[in-house]
Amino acid sequence: MMRPDLTMQARKRYVAFAIFFSFINHVTASVTHYSIPEEMKEGSVIANLATDLSLDVKTLNQRKMRLDLIANNKYLDVNKETGELYVVEKIDREYLCTKTLTLCYLKMEVILENPLRIFNIELEILDMNDNAPQFRRDAIHLDISEATSKGERFSLSNAVDPDVGSNSVKTYHLSESEHFTIEVQTGRDGSKFADLILKKTLDREQQAVHNLILTAVDGGTPARSGTASVIVHVSDTNDNAPTFEKLNYSVEIMENSPIGSLVVHLNATDLDEGSNSDVTYSYSLYTSEKTQETFNLNPSTGEITVKGMLNYEDFRIYDMEVIATDKGANSLSGQCTIQILVEDMNDNHPELSIKSFQSPVNENIELDTVIAVVSVSDKDSGNNGVVDLHIPDNMPFKLRESSDNYYELVVSEPLDREKVPEYDITFTVTDRGSPPLSDNETMTLELLDVNDNVPQFPQSFYTIRVMENNAPGALLSSLTAFDPDLHENQYLVYFILEKEIANTSMSMLFSINPENGNLYALKTFDYEIEKEFLFHIEARDSGSPPLSSNVTVHIIIVDQNDNAPVIVSPSDCCSGEGTFPYFSFFLPS
């Protein structure tokens, strides 16, 4: 349809042309020819038939002038008063002649009676560009693989324009595109269509859909156009390998992590779609059997979990290589390495081992003498494996580190078996983990006796009073000494120290039981003859060398009234049987 503002101007020109043309026709042929543009408004005058056919306008009515349209349609009529041919109904060329390039005519006869005259009239309907090109569908969908090489063509459905000649589709335009262009082709029937041409290869991962606008333009003036969207769906090919977020992973995990603990969740992504991006995970050949036995790799999720016990002390670094493979036809794969570092837990008790221990030792052992060698160890690492060795305080020993993890127990103070005969020494080894773990071992150090104590008498001086006339063999006293040493060092022997005075041996007068120190008188004393004795008794142990001590024993003979007074002559004195103590006194009763 024509736009209203154009109509009057354009129509006048066509009409003028038509009249001029018809004069020529009228002279040369019996068919009168007119040309009008299609779509003229109802009532528009096309020509004055009276004038053109040289008829008297006054007689037209009387002669019953009429118009006979061969194709029936009542498009036109003639005014019997004026002879004007005018439009009754709009003429659509495309409707009248359908789509054809040949000329479109409306043929009719003008009939007059009295006398009968018939004039043939041909009315050519000229095409107006009243139709825009139109695509059959608003959207053209194309699936193009990203593997398609450049230069490939794809035919696009053409646009149709019911107008003819230059008013029909003349060319096509494609919206700006990096990847596509079009080439306009002319069909055998002269129709125009466009081929879509790939000028740059596609990458679905970059752009999966390309939205293009195809415009068909006709050759009318002004040109009219119609558009269709061309939607190119780029179909995937497996052109991307799965990739991991990182090439190398380093993961730390505590030893003794329970079975099933998640170590790392690998995630390889594949830019392709569908099965081309479905990834399965597997260990590469590089990954050792041991590693594969210790860690489980879920082939579909990429989760690595603990499968076997982790023990830092056995194995602390696991290296693995994981391959992600997609499920595309020509599957592609990517890989990454994972290093799993097992972290130490303070799970090992420190250990101590007594390498040597001397027991018993002599109590007089020298200071700084090594009693024991102890080694310590802890399989943990870091502070968990640093150990300290202790012994209880207040012991006459100290620990001295001799070399790495070896300690010597040495004597730090003099020992005395008589005070402490043995020591229970508890070695405690403690690590510095948190919480710390410890171990202990107790050793008993026995001290051997050394004859380092002299026998001790309770008193240093004994005064023993003995009644004269005592029975021979009477027990006078028991002089026991004490020796804190042991065994033979304690085993005492008592004897009277001979003090020879005036050639008299005390052992003639007294006797001491060497085993228990019981002192006996060997004879009956007579106060009138001897009044006191002074001698020493020694106690001697059986050590080697023996130690001894002595005490002074003072025997006092106590007088009894056993004598009648007598006169004694001096000759009686120093004769007679036996000997008399040197220090015997004769006192007058």
Ligand X SMILES: *[C@@H]1O[C@H](CO)[C@@H](O)[C@H](O)[C@H]1NC(C)=O
Query: Cα–Cα distance between 54 and 110 in angstroms, integer?
Result: 13
Tokens of 491: 């085993």
Is residue 337 close enough to count as binding ligand X by CB under 6 A?
A: yes
Is residue 497 close enough to count as binding ligand X by CB under 6 A?
A: yes
* Residue choice 102, 248, 434, 561 for contact with ligand X (CB under 6 A): 248
Is residue 456 close enough to count as binding ligand X by CB under 6 A?
A: no
Is residue 149 close enough to count as binding ligand X by CB under 6 A?
A: no
Q: If we measure between CA atoms, which residue out of 136, 14, 162, 160 comes closest to residue 87?
A: 14
- With respect to ligand X, which residue has the nearer C-beta, 186 or 248? 248
Is residue 444 close enough to count as binding ligand X by CB under 6 A?
A: no
Q: Is 178 exposed, middle or buried (0-12, 13-18, 19+ CB in 10 A)?
A: exposed
Q: 167, 128 in Cβ contact below 8 A?
A: yes
Q: List, edge to edge, every strand of the sheet that includes 139-145.
A: 139-145, 225-235, 209-218, 169-174
* Residue choice 61, 284, 440, 516 for contact with ligand X (CB under 6 A): 440
Q: If we measure between CA atoms, which residue out of 22, 4, 5, 15 comes closest to residue 37?
A: 15
- With respect to ligand X, which residue has the nearer C-beta, 86 or 580? 580
- With respect to ligand X, which residue has the nearer C-beta, 267 or 362? 267
- With respect to ligand X, which residue has the nearer C-beta, 325 or 550? 550
Query: Cα–Cα distance between 465 and 562 in angstroms, integer?
Result: 17
Site for ligand X in 100-139 (CB under 6 A): none
Query: Cα–Cα distance between 380 and 346 in angstroms, integer?
Result: 6
Site for ligand X in 409-438 (CB under 6 A): 426, 428
Helix (H) or strand (E) holding 52: helix 49-52
Nearest approach, Cβ of 515 to ligand X (angstroms)? 20
Widest pairwise Cα distance in the chain: 240
- With respect to ligand X, which residue has the nearer C-beta, 245 or 562? 245
Nearest approach, Cβ of 209 to ligand X (angstroms)? 20
Count of chain residues binding ligand X (CB under 6 A): 13
Cα angle vertex 177, ends 171, 180, to 5°? 70
Binding mask 339-378 for ligand X (x = CB under 6 A): ----------------------------------------
Binding mask 526-545 for ligand X (x = CB under 6 A): ----------x---------
Is residue 275 close enough to count as binding ligand X by CB under 6 A?
A: no
Query: Cα–Cα distance between 201 and 194 in angstroms, integer?
Result: 20
Query: Cα–Cα distance between 429 and 390 in angstroms, integer?
Result: 6
- With respect to ligand X, which residue has the nearer C-beta, 139 or 251? 251
Query: Cα–Cα distance between 167 and 214 in angstroms, integer?
Result: 18
* Residue choice 6, 101, 139, 247 for contact with ligand X (CB under 6 A): 247
Site for ligand X in 160-189 (CB under 6 A): none
Nearest approach, Cβ of 517 to ligand X (angstroms)? 16
Contact residues: ligand X, CB under 6 A: 247-248, 267, 269, 337, 426, 428, 440, 497, 503, 536, 549-550
